[in-house]
Structure 1
Amino acid sequence: MSSPVLALSAGQIRRRPAAFAGLAAALLLATAAVTLFGSLVAAQVTAPRSVARAPVAGPGVLVIAGAFGEIAVLVALFTVVNALGFTLRQQHRDLALLRTVAATPRQVRRVVRAQVVATVLLAAVPGCAVGLLAARAFLAALQRRGMAAPGLRIPGTPVPMLIALGVALLVGLAATAAAAWRVTRPAPAVALTEGTGGARPTGVLRPLAGAAVLAGGVLLLRLAATRPAGELDKAAQAALLGSLVLLAAVALLGPLAARALAAALGLPVRVLVPRAGWLADANLRGYAARLSSAVVPVALLVGLAGTMLIITSTAERAARASGAMTSVTKASDVWLRQAELGLLVCFAAVSTVNTLVALTADRRREFALLRLVGATRRQLLRMLSVEAVLTTVVGVLLGAAVAVAASGAFSWAVRGTVVPAMPGAGCAWVVLGAAALTVPGIVGTGLWATGGSAVESVGVDRG
């Protein structure tokens, strides 16, 4: 790879540290998740026959690594794709400018690929180390509960780490190819115009892809709802996968859904907070792609956490009513689901904070322009506070819709009704957690972004 490409790639990383830090954190978590569950599989596969066949309480390490790792790894990769798409959207104008000064589409794609490869390599080493430590801690926890053979050990083979690195590179490069196509497909002048506008046209492919993914999620929920009474574990797994697919559809249809919800919520906000509310509502509706980037991680957090909490509560209530225990309601598997929930919440929380911080930091020039035309710093922070609340509400509503749909399908299979058992306290904590991540993340970054000299900030390009 030529040195100009490397120099341009390094320059973009230096100019947007917040966006690339978020991508690096997502890649670190993804490589850690693949290493964690891959190491568990390697421990079982490479164990002596006497250890591997030792009786254990529960489904066994391979089943645990496969069933629970499947969801965790998919969520981790979903977080990577979302973070990568956001990072590349932040560079849209810069990449379009490269094309106006005679850079070819191939050269632009090479710049983007170099950025992704560099970020993956930087995140892979600590990610694999974290995954290896987590695998040892998780295996020890399983052994304490009798769910893994006492003699089982995490092997020293580098295969799980190499697989994690390969998966991260594959997903990163595939997502890069799709995202870079938007910059390199149109003529340079058209790409530059799209990069300077806030409300870019969504196009046709994204809504069509979103509709197709939405249909796939509905089919998975139908599969969950039609499982017989003796297959509630499979119903729970189908419902969890269905919720993840629905969240992918939310990510694809995000600009449309977020704009519709923001428009519905905007009127009462304008009435309650006339000045700051009007400006916040105009910003959110005018920049649908930016709003979508902000609400998707919040919806991911609320949707996955809510689905798992409600499914577990519904299964436990059904078990108390019938006296039949399943692996959804056994104490050992409830602990497993709590551990998985903690891992998924970690992914979603990191994605939420990274995205919101990078989004708000990227608006420094916008805030400086508002200050030059008369807005005070206090007014801007009030506007950001209203935006943060609206962003939280939109993300919570989208995530809650996914959680209700997935848990309703599971409830139909368990209880014959689409109304699940709602754990009120748990759901309230999920909503409060989303608000605690979103509002301070936006307002706290806004304190930094609105500081300094407005004249100097206007002279600095966004980044």
Structure 2
Amino acid sequence: MLRLSLSSLRRRRGAFAASFLAMFLGATILMAFASLLDTAEGTSGTAKSTLTTMALVVGGWGLVLVVFAVTSTLTLSVRQRGAELALLKSVGATPAQLGRMIVGETGGLAVVAALLAVPAALLAGRGLLGMLHASGQVPDEIGYAFGPVALTMGLGITFASATGAALITARRATRVRVTESLMAAAVEPGGLSRKRIVGAVLFLALALNLGVVTATMMRGAGTDAMATSGQADIFAAIGLALLAPLIIRLATGVLAGPLRRLGGVAGELAVTNLRRRTGQMASVLTPIILFTGTGVGTLYLQDIENASMSAAGLAKTAEQKDIETLNFVVIGMIVVFTAIMLVNTLVTATTHRRREFGQQRLAGATPGQVLGTVALESAVLAATGVVCGAVAALFTVLPFSIARSGTAVPDGGPGILVAVAALAVVLTGVTALGTARRTVRTPAVAAVGV
């Protein structure tokens, strides 16, 4: 199966691109922040505390998002290969052999991605330290170090998380029978597994618990309230992302009528695709929820804190400057990572539909109608993701506003939400339509033969 894994990697470079990029970016983030621990060696006092806090807090959340993103992209990749896996089963491949093939492919990708990420992590780590130098939080005489901690965490965690995600994905893909695999390849099941439901409930419960603690026990605690409220939106976004297949089915049921009336043939095709390709659409919805939820929540968190400081007529202390820097680093990391993953997932998912687009055109749909279908699907996904992300952000915004200002509604207005939502919509629409436009340039007959 090792030989088959290597052959599959060579022949299906495009299919593995999404997983490879997730691992590469994840390894870069992990090593960049872990290098701050190497840099902190030999230092003391405030500088060591700042470097260690940023490495552990931001790097820790980076790890959570990386594992989630790798699992999501691997699931999409394996789902797209449903027919191939079914054929391998039909010629005698056992579930254990298929599992070793998937894990072997993923392990090889993880090693290559982590090694290639080292130069990027070096540059990113130097940039982080330079930012801390410029803000005065770390003395200029402290030099940058990239050592064993960064390499061990980057290579080890990337490989462990990728192969762990592969084991979960492989177990799910290889347990079903051949006939079920072929049916799933044609029409994706939209149900939620018990583990997915349990995970969603757990993450949402954690987010709710943190929100309640912030609104009740952290009143008057100042910036300490960020320690509990700042995590709530990430937990809530992950919880809602786990429910993405169910959310898509509900959104499609609500919007099916308007889509058919306003979109005509394109609207009918969009409704059909959203219902038939629930799993694939859920993979696209996930980064939109994470992007919107964490971006909106963290930006409002800092905005509320700044407004509270201004209202009290207080100047920011060194600790508060550290926290503000940490928040903006979190925002930057999450926004960049989830934005790239959103674009990456959309390109992979849309390119894979070349055969589907060809079949629709052979059945009488025009290229314009195919593009209209993709536009409507993207609109539904973007709107649904923004709404879910906004809900996730409330787990942070409302409790923290109560803790700092005594009111649940912050004074900042809807500007932050509108800006983040607009960026999510633009990224989703431009990427999906741009990829679909290139895809439909392939003649229909040639596309069906792919």
Question: When the two structures are superposed, what TM-score results if normalisation uses the length of structure 1?
Answer: 0.91
Paired letter, 1:97: L
Q: Which residue of 2 aligns with 1:9?
A: 5
Task: For residue 150 of structure 1, give the secondary structure of its aligned residue in structure 2.
Answer: coil
Counterpart contact for 2:32–2:121, Cα < 8 Å = yes
Give the share of equivalent positions with the same residue, in percent. Answer: 29
Counterpart contact for 2:229–2:399, Cα < 8 Å = yes
Residue 291 of structure 1, aligned match among 275, 281, 293: 281
1:191–1:282 CA distance, 2 compared to 1 (3 A) = closer
Counterpart contact for 2:214–2:228, Cα < 8 Å = yes
Is 1:44 matched up with 2:40? Answer: yes
Paired letter, 2:197: P
Paired letter, 2:200: G
Residue 128 of structure 2, aligned match among 132, 138, 163: 138
Aligned ranges for residues 326-341 of structure 1 at < 5 Å? 330-331=320-321, 333-341=323-331
Q: For 1:95 and 1:133, how far apart are their aligned partners in 2?
A: 40
Q: For 1:111 and 1:31, how far apart are their aligned partners in 2?
A: 23
Q: Which residue of 2 aligns with 1:18?
A: 14
Counterpart contact for 1:262–1:394, Cα < 8 Å = no
Counterpart contact for 1:316–1:329, Cα < 8 Å = no
1:395–1:17 CA distance, 2 compared to 1 (3 A) = farther
Q: Which residue of 1 aligns with 2:332?
A: 342
Residue 124 of structure 1, aligned match among 100, 114, 128: 114
Residue 381 of structure 1, aligned match among 371, 374, 380: 371
Q: Which residue of 1 aligns with 2:400?
A: 410
Q: Which residue of 1 aligns with 2:25?
A: 29
1:437–1:78 CA distance, 2 compared to 1 (3 A) = same
Residue 306 of structure 2, aligned match among 313, 316, 325: 316
Instruction: Return the offset for 1:329.
Output: 9.5
1:407–1:205 CA distance, 2 compared to 1 (3 A) = same
Aligned-residue RMSD, C-alpha: 2.3
Deviation per residue, 1:175-213 (Å, 9 max, x gap)? 111111112223333333323323354343322332233
Paired letter, 1:364: R
Unmatched 5+ stretches in structure 2? none
Aligned ranges for residues 113-262 of structure 1 at < 5 Å? 113-262=103-252
Q: For 1:398 and 1:91, how far apart are their aligned partners in 2?
A: 29
Instruction: Return the offset for 1:104.
Output: 1.1
Task: For residue 60 of structure 1, give the secondary structure of its aligned residue in structure 2.
Answer: helix
Would you say how many aligned residue pairs link Structure 1 and Structure 2? 450
Paired letter, 1:53: S
Residue 446 of structure 1, aligned match among 396, 411, 436: 436
Q: For 2:113 and 2:406, how far apart are their aligned partners in 1?
A: 47
Larger deviation, residues 390-399 vs 423-432: 423-432
Deviation per residue, 1:406-459 (Å, 9 max, x gap)? 211222222233223445333222112112211111111111221222122212
Deviation per residue, 1:151-175 (Å, 9 max, x gap)? 2222352331122111011111111
Aligned ranges for residues 360-399 of structure 1 at < 5 Å? 360-399=350-389
Counterpart contact for 1:81–1:172, Cα < 8 Å = yes
Instruction: Return the offset for 1:121.
Output: 1.5
Q: For 1:327 and 1:87, how far apart are their aligned partners in 2?
A: 48
1:229–1:206 CA distance, 2 compared to 1 (3 A) = closer
Q: For 1:121 and 1:303, how far apart are their aligned partners in 2?
A: 31
Instruction: Return the offset for 1:147.
Output: 0.7
Instruction: Return the offset for 1:11.
Output: 3.9
1:188–1:273 CA distance, 2 compared to 1 (3 A) = closer
Larger deviation, residues 132-141 vs 326-335: 326-335
Instruction: Return the offset for 1:14.
Output: 4.4
Paired letter, 1:181: R
1:107–1:44 CA distance, 2 compared to 1 (3 A) = same
Q: Which residue of 2 aligns with 1:53?
A: 44
Deviation per residue, 1:351-386 (Å, 9 max, x gap)? 100111111111111111111111111111111111
Q: For 2:315 and 2:87, how far apart are their aligned partners in 1?
A: 62
Counterpart contact for 2:256–2:271, Cα < 8 Å = yes
Counterpart contact for 1:232–1:326, Cα < 8 Å = no
Q: For 1:88 and 1:316, how far apart are their aligned partners in 2?
A: 46
Larger deviation, residues 343-352 vs 406-415: 406-415
Instruction: Return the offset for 1:117.
Output: 1.0
Paired letter, 1:438: T
Counterpart contact for 1:19–1:354, Cα < 8 Å = no
Q: For 2:139 and 2:82, how far apart are their aligned partners in 1?
A: 52
Task: For residue 408 of structure 2, give the secondary structure of its aligned residue in structure 1.
Answer: coil
Counterpart contact for 1:328–1:334, Cα < 8 Å = no
1:54–1:242 CA distance, 2 compared to 1 (3 A) = closer
Counterpart contact for 1:392–1:434, Cα < 8 Å = yes
Q: For 2:74 and 2:264, how far apart are their aligned partners in 1?
A: 36
Unmatched 5+ stretches in structure 1? none
Counterpart contact for 1:31–1:124, Cα < 8 Å = yes
Instruction: Return the offset for 1:320.
Output: 2.4
Aligned ranges for residues 85-104 of structure 1 at < 5 Å? 85-104=75-94
Q: For 1:452 and 1:12, how far apart are their aligned partners in 2?
A: 24
Q: For 2:38 and 2:250, how far apart are their aligned partners in 1?
A: 47
Q: For 2:201 and 2:338, how far apart are their aligned partners in 1?
A: 23
Paired letter, 1:363: R
